[in-house]
Copies of this chain bind each other. A is one copy, B any other.
């Protein structure tokens, strides 16, 4: 297997299985045809045609749109379509820095194919024998991807929180990293991908951070979302990413990006340019 396999897995999708989800005259997502058919019963607020699912334009402010969608999401949850409701509000917007058009329960986001944003932080150490990276194993009772490997700290970007603010919060909750240390994390880029999954489409963006940790620091999980942490030589991390599917799908990309930026994938690797370009779709 190769790093390109991991990138391809995060970008496997077929848009012909979806139709646009339109809010305020702009496409903000993609809805699977079968779900669109189910949504027809919400004809008071949704216009469902073969071409698109459109939120009633008469709902012309944030609160009205959010309430209308929330009622639908609750109904879909009652039907067992939307599962694992977390009571976490995600913004629906046309660009990361644009004002949100509405807010939507996190668990429903892929069902509507809305772009989600997240922060992914690779925590690493420089030792005499090379770089080492902290990797996390997700709790076995987590609703999504239980027991899989993960970046040291990662989290979705909820509404109303700045990126660094969210990262510092997640650092503290997930790994017991004190804020003063977490704030030394360096923003190093962003990764985009678009993956079709059982629950819909994930056309997502990961904001990536590197944090160089002191050798004595040991992460301690505080929110129960991480089962254990491992400090691995970077070669081992690279091998696990390249040769297995042990990491949650998108965490592979944050690590591949780290490997590229730290010179750990050689530029004369035949896959290099495809890897570099594959992280930004």
Contact = CB atoms under 8 A, between A and B. Distances in A.
B186 A273 contact: no
The secondary structure that dominates the A interface is: mixed
Contacts of A280: 276-277, 279-280
Interface stretch (A36-44, A134-142, A168-176, A263-271): A263-271
Contacts of A279: 280
A205 interface: yes
Interface string A185-207: 01111101000000000000101
Nearest to A97: B270
Nearest to A185: B263
A272 interface: yes
A95 B273 CA distance: 9
Given A192-B273, A192-B277, A263 B96 contact: no
Given A163-B268, A268-B163, A280-B280, A187 B263 contact: yes
A127 interface: no
Contacts of A270: 95, 97
Total copies of the chain: 2
A67 interface: no
Among the interface residues A97, A266, A279, which one has the most CB atoms of the partner chain B within 10 A?
A97
A273 B203 CA distance: 14
Contacts of A267: 163, 187, 190, 207
A261 interface: yes
Taking residues whose C-beta sits less than 8 angstroms from the other chain, chain A's interface range is 20 to 34
Contacts of A86: none
Contacts of A277: 192, 280
Residue from A163, A187, A267 with most neighbouring chain B CB atoms (10 Å): A267
Nearest to A98: B270
A80 interface: no
20 contacts: A95-B273, A96-B268, A96-B273, A97-B268, A97-B269, A162-B268, A163-B268, A186-B262, A186-B263, A187-B266, A188-B262, A188-B263, A189-B261, A189-B276, A190-B276, A192-B273, A207-B267, A261-B261, A277-B280, A280-B280
